[in-house]
Structure 1
């Protein structure tokens, strides 16, 4: 009985051992299969890594030539009248009539508006009456002085004959001096009254607002019935502009360009109101004092504009292009050549899974005066010396390149 149990246990142990052996054999085969797959993947990556890049690139190129360049500076600004006059009021009062409106043409001396003059006329009459009184006082003082002089001569004659006392002569002399003083006072009163009349008459004249120039009314700030108070500041009633056939364009020139701009240079400008049309102008002056806004330094540049056609209006925004110079027969390169970088150079190393061709040669990016020149069918980086630019082309001042050399400006197409 005991022997049967031992035999059964031995059989169970044998079965378990066989199961473990079979499991280890299966695990070994799976491990070998996994390593084999990893090896195949590595071989595939190595093949791709070392396989040459046979992609053919068609480059867009430009052959260097010589030509003329027109150098320009661009700025924006607004049109202004050549001369602008603010017409104000020097007196206070009620506006009774306004005789002009916006856009009306006016001539020098033309009446623009009228004040109520009732009080001013009364003030003038009062001043004239005071003048008449002062003049009458002068006549009275002159008569008194004449009388006192006669008395003084009479008393002096009596004193010489010994029939009059010295006191009487002294009193006559004092009376004559008082008469002279009264006459001087009366004459001063006449001058004062005359000044009051002039003041009242001037204020009455200022009740008529007239144009100081020949021009056009740009703005009217009053209406009949308005009351004007001229206290601390003269109120502006009209804004007049001189002949708008001659105008000025004020632009803000960047500090990088202002050194090239000077009086007498020709310019053109455009306005939104007349799209597609260019107007001519000429630089008048460049202000020395800068304008600083948001840490940007600009200089106001004034250009003269001929507006004989009457198409331009004050306040229009304009973009001006000033011709700052010319370059004759210079070697030039298109600006787009400086902005181009081959795709491999853009990659700059490409990361872990980039093609080796993308990392060959290291970082191929260059400074801003770098161009790519075709050498043996491949673009080669070259640093050149540059001069002025007209926005499309840049002058080459060095001897790194010659006329006929080909620079790369882009990629036309890419074919596998």
Structure 2
């Protein structure tokens, strides 16, 4: 390709003069502390899930909740026909009354035999038999009371109640259906949606790299995370790193991290795809180079053109940590005060004279961080 040279510059070159400085647009760089982040994909999960199942068998005679609405712990959800369980409780109470009557009779007989023994009228064997009969009667009363308690529990379970507070989903049964204790299919599912959890995975190798790099990690930034929704918008509430699984998956080499986000408006729903923007560490005195001023050489290494103090163009090889909005976080290759060329790169080459013009702040592309 033949380079195009301006007529004035060509005349000066023919006469042995130097080409005029080439106008370029530059940005003067400044050092600043940068918190590096990592974007991790995940899905929203309820912080609590309870599958509602019957604990007794029977016919459903009533559904007492509205689908998709909040319920409180202990609220009645379904009512099973209680007739059988009411009869069982009545029978258990009758058995208890009979056992208590037998106990009273055994206690009277024990007292009578004791008085007769004191007067040497009755034998010791008769007294021992009376005491044994009293003990058996006392045990029978305890068994009868346990049967009453069991029947009461079964009768109470005929009213199926919410085990947790949350939002109840669609009902999977209807009035008149037969349900059985411990059945596989849940009658409904209750999910606790405030707060919600987001489980993400992070490479164990990346975590080790950060720990060995000696980067400073700000604890207050490390525990506070942001959430980016599927449409690219940022969720209005911040979350926290609630827990980390102390285990690395052997097959994938990742660690599971659990984030917790408030959800007072019920905007986040379980299963929703999101991205967690999680701080990884802080770099002191890093350089944020505009992305339009950074290119790559033939080997794929990031490079930038800068204008030095003599208004000469220099090329710098950079070490880029990661992107940060519309800039690159550069840890070596650039220094505070360097003037990086962001417009006119195709017109200059290393060693050429340049006429730098600072880019106005209003013309900078806003970052998305």
Aligned to 1:355: none
1:283 to 234, 240, 246: 240
Aligned to 2:60: 95
Structure 1 unaligned residues grouped into runs of 5+ = 1-52, 157-168, 346-364
C-alpha distance in structure 1 between counterparts of 2:36 and 2:330, whole Å: 14
Aligned to 2:128: 177
Relative to the length of structure 2, the TM-score reads 0.70
Relative to the length of structure 1, the TM-score reads 0.63
1:271 to 226, 229, 232: 229
Q: Residue 62 of structure 1 contacts residue 408 of structure 1 at CA under 8 Å; is this kept in 2?
A: yes
Residue 110 (str. 1) matches residue 75 (str. 2) = yes
1:56-205 equivalence runs, <5 A: 56=4, 63=27, 65-66=29-30, 68=32, 69-155=34-120, 172-205=123-156
Aligned to 1:312: 268
Mark the CA change 1:331 to 1:154 in structure 2 (over 3 Å): closer, same or farther: closer
SS in 2 for 1:123: helix
C-alpha distance in structure 1 between counterparts of 2:109 and 2:95, whole Å: 21
2:200 to 247, 251, 257: 251
How far did 1:195 drift?
Answer: 1.0
Q: Residue 267 of structure 1 contacts residue 280 of structure 1 at CA under 8 Å; is this kept in 2?
A: no
2:188 to 221, 233, 238: 238
Rg larger for: 1
How far did 1:302 drift?
Answer: 0.6
C-alpha distance in structure 2 between counterparts of 1:116 and 1:370, whole Å: 78
Residue 211 (str. 1) matches residue 175 (str. 2) = no
How far did 1:182 drift?
Answer: 0.8
Question: Considering only aligned residues, what root-mean-square deviation do their CA atoms show, in Å?
Answer: 3.9
Structure 2 unaligned residues grouped into runs of 5+ = 6-21, 211-216, 349-369
- Structure with bigger helix share is 1
SS in 1 for 2:138: helix
Residue 393 (str. 1) matches residue 327 (str. 2) = yes
C-alpha distance in structure 2 between counterparts of 1:294 and 1:381, whole Å: 43
Mark the CA change 1:110 to 1:384 in structure 2 (over 3 Å): closer, same or farther: closer
How far did 1:328 drift?
Answer: 6.8
Cα deviations by residue, 1:288-325 (Å, 9 ceiling, x for unpaired): 335649735243231323x3344333332112223445
How far did 1:118 drift?
Answer: 1.9
How far did 1:211 drift?
Answer: 2.4
C-alpha distance in structure 2 between counterparts of 1:269 and 1:62, whole Å: 34
How far did 1:178 drift?
Answer: 0.7
C-alpha distance in structure 2 between counterparts of 1:65 and 1:291, whole Å: 41
**Number of positions where the alignment pairs a residue of Structure 1 with one of Structure 2:** 321
Aligned to 2:289: 333
Cα deviations by residue, 1:27-73 (Å, 9 ceiling, x for unpaired): xxxxxxxxxxxxxxxxxxxxxxxxxx642499987555115445322
